[in-house]
Amino acid sequence: MKPNLSLNTQPELVYLPGFQWEVGPLTEFDPHALLREINDDVSKAIGQALDFANTGSIGELTQPLQNSFMYVGTTLSSFGKDLELDEAKVYTRALQKAALCYLDGLSNTSMWVSHHPNFLAAAYSKDSPGDLEAMVRYDIRRPQLEGYDVTPALVREVTPTLLYVTKQLLGAAVEAE
């Protein structure tokens, strides 16, 4: 399938205030490598939420944040660290919080609904300790929205519901605590 490139392929800044304080033990990981995996997982969840909006079905449910869990597990294992159950729970909650923080940051960009975020880079902010800055490019239109005129008004209208469904797919129960 040939990608549908948008007219605007300029990178966009995704600002994640307080990221370092939210993600606890994940601060020991390179933010670029961590967010690269989280980006793929969040993008998949957004696609499933759009499928739900279009068809009433989200398709096959898989483990949320599967790429992110694999990255963390593989990295820790490479250092000879095996997680006990309680530690695994802590990392799970931290990954969920990181994904939700990233989703909130994405939702403040112009094309988060209509296009896949192509992750480019991430680093902790030089100007604001604890904040993370990421760059994404939206260059591939989501197939769920082919044939739709995705206007700023439409994005504003669907954002609350789309965020809610996507957060549920990512395991948003951590927000209630």
Burial (CB < 10 A; 0-12, 13-18, 19+), residue 105, is buried
95 domain-assigned: yes
Query: Is 122 in contact with 31 (CB distance < 8 Å)?
Result: yes
Domain count, the chain: 1
Does residue 4 form part of some domain? no
Summarised one tens digit per residue, pLDDT across range 52-103 is 888 888 778 778 899 999 999 999 999 999 888 899 899 999 999 999 999 9
Q: Are 98 and 22 in contact (CB under 8 A)?
A: yes
Cα separation of 53 and 55, whole Å?
Answer: 6
> Which residues constitute the domain of residue 85?
12-176
Q: Is residue 3 part of a domain?
A: no
**Residue 74 in domain:** yes
Residue 2 lies in a domain: no
Residue ranges in the chain whose pLDDT is less than 70: 1-8, 172-177
pLDDT at res. 80: 92
96 part of a folded domain:
yes
Token pair for 28: 């020991």
In a domain? residue 6 = no
Mean pLDDT of the chain: 87
Give the per-residue pLDDT at 97: 94
Determine the pLDDT at residue 6: 45
